[in-house]
């Protein structure tokens, strides 16, 4: 089994990376393959709603990590998205990446397990946590949790090491996520996937 981890921080060696490192170490102990993509330090533009992806199956902007990440997400059993907090929100570069990745990919993400991880100096974590989880819930992805919100605290690089509770929660999250992925795999073999209805869209302005 494999988990794709997205680092939305512009600092590849900062506290967000430390939180992901704790997850990766635990996943590896559980026999789960991992891959980390660093997107927070890349020049990634936002979606322009051209809908070209509906015809081609990929984003029209082919010069950054979005189309490269698409097959990695399709092959993964789980997805972890991690971000620092900026103005009680995720890094804008990460949001641009996720908007285009989720919108341009036409394969089903249902029953892939998702988890959000948020790092902050002090506050804004729960708002950012909610923001990131919405990508999973709109896609039919079960959301993994630890024993608390998936937060780690620290401002300067290395300070996350002092957040023992936060790092412990990363280990718990990885084990819970592993359990969910394995459980879903077994259920798929025995019962198959849940029935998928054709999506109905209702517009409130007619």
47 in a structural domain: yes
Residue 205 has a pLDDT of 82
CATH number assigned to the domain comprising residue 157: 3.40.50.360
- The string of DSSP letters for 8-39 reads --S-TTSHHHHHHHHHHHHHHHTT-EEEEEE-
Q: What pLDDT does residue 122 have? A: 94
* pLDDT for position 201: 87
Asked if residue 54 is part of any domain, the answer here is: yes
pLDDT number for residue 154: 96
Q: Is residue 56 part of a domain?
A: yes
Question: What parts of the chain have a pLDDT lower than 70?
Answer: 206
Domain membership flag for residue 63: yes
Query: What pLDDT score was predicted for residue 3?
Result: 98
Helices 164-191 and 15-29 pack at an angle, to 10 degrees, of: 50
At 63 the pLDDT is 82
Find the angle CA(131)-CA(136)-CA(137) to the nearest 5 degrees. 90
Q: Please check whether residue 182 lies inside any domain of the structure.
A: yes
pLDDT at 38: 96
Cα separation, 197 vs 97, whole angstroms = 28
Reported as type and span, the H/E element at residue 80 is strand 78-86
Residue 206 lies in a domain: no
Give the structural domain span for 115: 2-191
Buried-state track 167-186, b at ≥16 Cβ within 10 A, e below 16? bebbbbbbbbbbebbbebee
Is 198 part of a structural domain of the chain? no
Total domains in the fold of the chain: 1
In a domain, 158, yes or no: yes
pLDDT value, residue 104: 97
pLDDT score of 50: 96
């Amino acid at each position: 089994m494999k988990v794709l981890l997205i680092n939305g921080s512009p600092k590849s060696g900062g506290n967000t990376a430390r939180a992901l490192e704790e997850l990766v170490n635990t996943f590896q102990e559980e026999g789960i393959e991992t891959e980390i993509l660093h997107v927070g330090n890349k020049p990634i533009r936002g979606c322009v709603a051209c809908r070209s992806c509906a015809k081609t199956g990929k984003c029209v902007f082919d010069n950054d990590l979005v189309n490269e990440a698409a097959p990695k997400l399709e092959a993964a059993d789980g997805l972890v998205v991690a971000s620092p907090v900026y103005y009680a929100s995720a890094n804008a570069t990460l949001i641009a990446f996720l908007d285009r990745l989720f919108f341009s990919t036409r394969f089903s993400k249902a029953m892939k397990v998702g988890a959000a991880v948020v790092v902050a100096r002090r506050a804004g974590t729960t708002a950012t946590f909610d923001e990131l989880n919405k990508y999973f819930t709109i896609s039919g992805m079960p959301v993994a949790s630890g024993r608390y919100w998936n937060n780690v605290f620290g401002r300067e690089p290395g300070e996350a090491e002092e957040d023992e509770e936060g790092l412990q929660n990363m280990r718990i999250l990885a084990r819970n996520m592993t359990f969910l992925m394995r459980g879903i795999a077994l259920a798929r073999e025995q019962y198959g996937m849940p029935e998928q209805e054709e999506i109905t869209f209702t517009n409130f302005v007619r």
